[in-house]
Amino acid sequence: MLRNEDFESTDRFGQLSREPDTPEPGHNRLTLDDAAFYGLAGDLARAVDPYTEADPVAVLTGVLAGFGNCVGSGVHTKVGATKHCARLFVVHTGDTSAGRKGTAWSLVGEVLAGAEKDWSAHCLQHGGLSSAEGLIYRVRDLTEGLNRKGERVTTDEGVADKRLFVVEDEFASVLTVISREGNNLSPVLRAAWDRGDLATMTRNNPLKSTAAHIAIIGHITKAEILARLDETSKGNGFANRFLFIHVKRSKELPDGPIIPDEVLAPLIERVRRAVVFAKTTGLVVRDAEATTLWREVYHKLSTGRPGLLGAVLGRAEAQVLRLSLLYALLDCSEQIRFEHLEAALDLWGYSEQSAVQIFGDRLGDPIADKIRQALRDKPLSDEEIYHLFNGHRDKAELQRAKKLLVEYGLADSYGETTAGRARTMWQLTV
């Protein structure tokens, strides 16, 4: 069987044109190593880079998400009894609307359309993600009923192809919709990411979809996501089903050069071969080397971060698993190898950094967050912490907040001997 390694490929991603990140005060510069650009997805990002203003990481994640939707829900990997298909929800975020977020998808869409025209014609949808009923209808099952003679007949042929890829250029509108009281789009999207079995509970016209294979790419600015993603969506598992990817314009190309056919044609052929391979593959497992790496990183991935940021990043191990599956399939490999998992871990690390840029690292508890912020400067005594709040917080509230910091492993206390009696001091541990 022909593998993607049979095609010539450079080992390093090299020097791409990308405007440098200018981090806000208190934030670290975003970094993405070459490992994430492993294989076909990286080769594609590299090949088109001279011809586009799109961020290479936007092209990379677009390839992974779009390809994963193309291959359907048959190919999968597992953790225990939990099945993970090649499904990704991705949100491209930028500081402004000039981040060329949509430009990346235009390129990826062209490649995928060349690789599988049926998918592009029937499974690709731009916008319209506004209700659970509308989403399920797009991938609905066949339904039957009884005619006047009591005979069972088909009342709706349903949709045979359960693949659906939604490109939401105005993802802010989706966040507005799910925050409305009574809207049930959020739980249905969560079910779509998890297992693909969807249903509404309406009495008169219930809808159902079995084994739907849905993926999403959304585009939004940082200001919009902070304004519209409510606390419920951060904490109930909606947000952590998305990979948050910070993107920005890579360069200015006022003449908008056309990508030559000789550049795109070999990439399209490689994607086509990878799609065919993945559609004929079932369970994909890790090899021995990847298993060793997985065991090393699993604790950190599954433990996660505390507070609101921890809720947003709460499915780290599942996201890494799906990413490693996609890298393997693009390599036409029936096993997840070390390099596939390494690439997935690096891309996940970038998504973590992106989430920190957006949401910060607050715990979501205002008292604990204020104490933590003050401890960044120096250790504080119990009395000094009390005076942080000008005496407006009682000792029970302060004790609860300090206990929270200890439970999350963010701070600890120690005794300090003074000229008078000993006092308790508090310091950050991370």
Residue-wise pLDDT tens digits, 176-193 = 999 998 889 999 999 999
- Pairwise CA distance, residues 281 & 21, whole Å: 40
- Pairwise CA distance, residues 313 & 416, whole Å: 37
Architecture per CATH, domain 366-428, reads as Orthogonal Bundle (1.10)
Mean pLDDT across the chain: 88
246 or 11: whose pLDDT is higher? 246
Which pTM value belongs to this model? 0.84
Residue-wise pLDDT tens digits, 76-88 = 999 888 899 999 9
For residue 408, which phi and psi values (nearest 5 degrees)?
A: -85, 0
Lowest pLDDT segment from 9-18, 261-270, 356-365, 372-381: 9-18
Residue-wise pLDDT tens digits, 96-138 = 755 566 788 889 999 999 999 999 999 999 999 999 999 999 9
- Pairwise CA distance, residues 276 & 72, whole Å: 11
Residue-wise pLDDT tens digits, 378-398 = 999 999 999 999 988 888 999
Which pLDDT belongs to residue 252?
A: 85
Mind giving me the DSSP string for 218-240? EEEEHHHHHHHS-HHHHHSSSGG
Helix (H) or strand (E) holding 76: strand 76-79
Q: What pLDDT band is residue 3 in, cutting at 50, 70 and 90?
A: very low
Closest CA to 164 of 187, 140, 143, 142: 140
Domain boundaries along the sequence of the chain: 4-74+82-282, 366-428
Cα Rg for the chain, rounded, in angstroms?
24
